[in-house]
Every structure is written in C-alpha cells, then in structure tokens.
Amino acid sequence: MLREFNVVIEKDEDGYFVASVPALRGCHTQAKSLDTLIKRTREAIALCLEVEDPVSNEFVGVQRIAVNC
C-alpha cells in the first residue's frame, strides 16, 4: 500500500539536511545531500511504521515570525 507523509526539511549550521515527519513521533533523519536525505527518510518512515501508527494531522503552512531579542 502506498502512503504519503508530509516531511519538514531544514538545513542545520553544519550543512546537513534534517528531515522530520510530524505524523510519526520521533521520525527524523539527516544527510549531507537531498538525494540521500530522501532515501533515508523513506527508510525511517518504513521503520517507524513498524512500531507506531501515524497521528492524524494536516499541513497548514510555514510562517516566518520576527522577534526582538
């Protein structure tokens, strides 16, 4: 069965791409390239699905917010 998940991708200060799957708690991975990240993310999702059911959520969007510090 083919399932689709929203994945949040960020780039950290060391240049690694970091992927998180909000529907699967604790489902994260990282890689130096986007191609490798996508492959690792598929593997991480498959492993997470072996031990937990995804939570229902709906992607709304990304908002950038400025704060004085």
Confidence band, pLDDT 50/70/90 cuts, at residue 63: very high
Query: What average pLDDT does the chain have?
Result: 95
Give the amino acid at 35.
D
User: Which domain covers residue 14, as residue numbers?
Assistant: 8-51
Q: What are the pLDDT digits (tens) for 23-46?
A: 999 999 999 999 999 999 999 999
Q: What is the CATH number of the domain that holds 31?
A: 3.30.160.250
> Looking at the domain assignment, is residue 33 inside a domain?
yes
- Say how many domains are in the chain: 1
Beta-sheet pairing, 28-31 with 8-11? unpaired
Residue 67 clears pLDDT 90, i.e. is over it:
yes
**Which pTM does this prediction carry?**
0.87
- Which residues are within 8 A (CB) of 17 and not within 5 positions of it... i.e. 6 or more apart? 9, 10, 11, 30, 31, 32, 33, 34, 37
> Looking at the domain assignment, is residue 22 inside a domain?
yes
Residue 19 contacts residue 27 (beta carbons within 8 Å): no
